[in-house]
Chain A
Amino acid sequence: MSEDRTDLDDLTLSRARRGDRDAFRALVERYERPVFALLGRMLFRAGRESLVEDLAQETFVRVFRGLPTFGADGRSNVSAWILTIAARLAIDELRRQQPWLESLDARTIGVASPAATDEPSDRLRIAAAIERAVAQLGPEYRAAFLLREVHDMDYESIAEALRVDIGTVKSRLSRARAALRRALQGTYDER
């Protein structure tokens, strides 16, 4: 997990559940970066920066409302819960903006052309290649890939976040990885 740190401590979480302002602020400050990272990568071509902030804010408003009952359904991973809320909001936004993406099967994803970028830095070339490949993933594929590979969520949590079974999650992940491998292979071959 590249961007996540340790979870919020139990005492702060408990205070936040009781509506303590400072504790909830600590919760927001702890999880705002992963939420922005997920939303930013989910929506990077779908909207402006303000859209990411709006959905991040909506994520935390829902977290605040759901905190008093958090754990009643057996959940214990705050990070996965918050990222699930953010992922669902992003998927809904993508569906609203681009309903055609829903029917797009991951097998139709093309290989990104690395030659399309003039960035001198390898890192930027890789980033550009990943962007192009992920941009062609449907919302659910994109969410599955980012939640698993970047935010280290387990299959079960991803299945719950995407409201699909675990087999579907694994299938989507496999296809998303294959598409990205092709994109990155092209990038490396050109070097």
Chain B
Amino acid sequence: MSDERKRRDDWASLVGAWPAPAPRPGFADRVLAACDLPPPVQLAIVREPPPRRLGASGILVCAAIAAALVLLPFALHRRQPPPVSAANVVTLGNSFDLGPEHD
């Protein structure tokens, strides 16, 4: 070991007895912030919620109800039996013999 090296080591060991301050935790973070370095991009899988279909389904339900209300009277009307009147009654098989015609 050279004299220069030995001398420097001696001084370093002596000065080593002199405590030096150490950086507080987070020093590097404060430096990075001061340098305006952007924070790291964090990749994350974001599960998007399913598209809301309530509006569309609501419209469909309303349309169906409206259609039902419109069509219901017609449906009910068609199911009723036709009214029976005397003029419409044709009796078959029983004919009255009214006799010969007389002028």
Contacts and interface: CB of A to CB of B under 8 A. Distances in A.
A166 to B, nearest CB: 15
B66 interface: no
A126 B37 contact: no
B27 interface: yes
B12 A1 contact: yes
Interface in B1-50: 8, 11-24, 27-28, 30-32, 34-35, 37-40
B30 A150 contact: no
A40 B8 contact: no
A182 B50 CA distance: 81
B96 to A, nearest CB: 115
Interface string A114-139: 00000000011011001100000000
Contacts of A40: 20-21
Contacts, number: 88
A57 B31 contact: yes
Contacts of A61: 31, 34-35
Nearest to A32: B23
Size range of the interface on A?
A: 35 or more
- The A interface is mostly helix, strand or loop, or mixed, namely helix
A41 B32 contact: no
Contact of A57 (B19, B22, B30, B37): B30
Interface residues of B, number: 26
Contacts of A130: 14-15, 17-18
A57 B14 contact: no
Contacts of A3: 20
A167 interface: no
A24 B37 contact: yes
Contact of A53 (B14, B16, B24, B39): B24
Nearest to A29: B28
Q: Which 5 A-B pairs have the closest CB atoms?
A: A37-B20, A40-B21, A149-B11, A2-B12, A28-B28
Interface of B: 8, 11-24, 27-28, 30-32, 34-35, 37-40
Interface of A: 1-3, 19, 21-22, 24-25, 28-29, 32-33, 36-37, 39-41, 49, 52-53, 56-57, 60-61, 64, 123-124, 126-127, 130-131, 146, 148-150, 152, 177, 180, 184
18 contacts: A2-B12, A2-B16, A3-B20, A19-B37, A21-B32, A21-B40, A28-B28, A32-B28, A36-B23, A53-B24, A61-B31, A61-B34, A124-B17, A127-B17, A130-B18, A150-B15, A152-B12, A177-B11
